[in-house]
Structure 1
Amino acid sequence: MTETTITTPSWVQALDKYVASKPIEDVAADLGLKPEEIIMLVANENPNGMSSKVKEAVATAALNLNRYPDADAYHLQKAIAEKYGVPQDWVVIGSGSSELLGLAAETVLSEGTTAIYPQYSFSLYPMVARLCGAETIEIPSTGDFNADLDAMADAVDERTRLIFLTNPNNPTGTYLAEKDILDFLDKVPPTVMVLFDEAYVEFLEPALRCDSMEIVRLHPNVMIARTFSKAYGLAGARVGYGIAQPGLLSMLNRVRHPFNVNDLSQIAALAALKDQDFVEMTLEVNRKGIKFLSEAFDALKLPYMGLHANFITVKVGPHADDIVQYLLKKGIIVRRMKSYDLPEWIRVSVGTPEQNERFLEVLKEALIKFGEKSA
Structure 2
Amino acid sequence: MLKKTVADLHPYVPEEPLQDLQAKLGIDKLVRLSANENPFGTSPRVKKALATATSLPLNEYPDGNANALREAVAQYLQVDPEQLLFGCGLDEIIELITRTFLEPGDEVVEPWPTFSEYKLHDQIEAAKTVDVPVTADGRVDADAMVAAITDKTKLLWLCNPNNPTGTLLKPVELEALLSRIPQHVLVLIDEAYIEFVDGVDNPSAVQFLDQFSNIVVMRTFSKIYGLAGMRVGYAVVPKSLIASMQAVRLPYNLNSVSQTLALAALDDQEFVADTKRKVVAARKSWTDFLTAQKLNFYPSQTNFIFFQVPDAAGLHDFLMHNGFLVRDRLRPDWLRVTFGSAEENAQLQKLIAEYLAAHK
Q: Same fold (TM over 0.5)?
A: yes
SS at match of 1:356: helix
Q: Across the two proteins, how many residue pairs are aligned to each other?
A: 359
- For 2:204 and 2:258, how far apart are their aligned partners in 1? 28
SS at match of 2:209: helix
- For 2:20 and 2:342, how far apart are their aligned partners in 1? 25
Does 2:72 match 1:72?
no
CA contact (8 A) 1:48 1:282 kept: yes
**Residue of structure 2 equivalent to 1:324:** 316
1:33 pairs with one of 18, 27, 41: 27
1:111 pairs with one of 93, 104, 125: 104
SS at match of 1:291: helix
**Residue of structure 2 equivalent to 1:356:** 345
SS at match of 1:70: coil
**Residue of structure 1 equivalent to 2:51:** 59
**Residue of structure 1 equivalent to 2:336:** 347
Instruction: Decide which moves more: 152-161 or 119-128.
Output: 152-161
User: Aligned-pair distance for 1:234?
Assistant: 0.5
CA contact (8 A) 2:191 2:204 kept: no
CA contact (8 A) 1:121 1:169 kept: yes
CA contact (8 A) 1:313 1:346 kept: yes
Deviation per residue, 1:225-273 (Å, 9 max, x gap):
1111110000111001101222122121121111111111111100000
- For 1:314 and 1:112, how far apart are their aligned partners in 2? 35
Cα gap change, 1:89 to 1:104, in 2 (>3 Å): same
CA contact (8 A) 2:194 2:203 kept: no
- For 1:140 and 1:304, how far apart are their aligned partners in 2? 16
Alignment of 1:1-375 (within 5 A): 7-34=1-28, 37-61=29-53, 62-205=55-198, 207-317=200-310, 319-336=311-328, 338-340=329-331, 343-369=332-358, 371-372=359-360
Deviation per residue, 1:343-365 (Å, 9 max, x gap):
22111000001110111121122
- For 1:152 and 1:179, how far apart are their aligned partners in 2? 16
CA contact (8 A) 2:56 2:256 kept: yes
CA contact (8 A) 2:164 2:336 kept: yes
User: Aligned-pair distance for 1:207?
Assistant: 2.1
TM-score, structure 1 as length reference: 0.93
- For 1:334 and 1:288, how far apart are their aligned partners in 2? 19
User: Aligned-pair distance for 1:209?
Assistant: 4.1
Task: Structure 2: state its 5+ residue gaps.
Answer: none
User: Aligned-pair distance for 1:339?
Assistant: 3.8
User: Aligned-pair distance for 1:299?
Assistant: 1.5
User: Aligned-pair distance for 1:208?
Assistant: 4.8
User: Aligned-pair distance for 1:290?
Assistant: 0.9
CA contact (8 A) 1:177 1:209 kept: no
- For 1:93 and 1:147, how far apart are their aligned partners in 2? 27
Deviation per residue, 1:96-148 (Å, 9 max, x gap):
11211111111110102111101111011111111111111111221211111
Instruction: Decide which moves more: 205-214 or 292-301.
Output: 205-214
In the TM superposition, structure 1's runs of 4+ consecutive aligned residues that sit over 4 Å from their partners are: none
- For 2:204 and 2:354, how far apart are their aligned partners in 1? 44
Q: Choose between structure 1 and 2 for higher RCO, CA contacts under 8 A separated by at least 6 residues.
A: 2
- For 1:77 and 1:352, how far apart are their aligned partners in 2? 32
Letter of the aligned partner of 2:236 in structure 1?
Answer: I
Taking only the aligned residue pairs, the percentage that are identical comes to: 37
- For 2:50 and 2:325, how far apart are their aligned partners in 1? 30
Letter of the aligned partner of 2:245 in structure 1?
Answer: L
TM-score, structure 2 as length reference: 0.97
SS at match of 1:42: coil
User: Aligned-pair distance for 1:206?
Assistant: 5.4
- For 1:19 and 1:55, how far apart are their aligned partners in 2? 29
- What is the RMSD computed on CA atoms of the aligned residues? 1.3
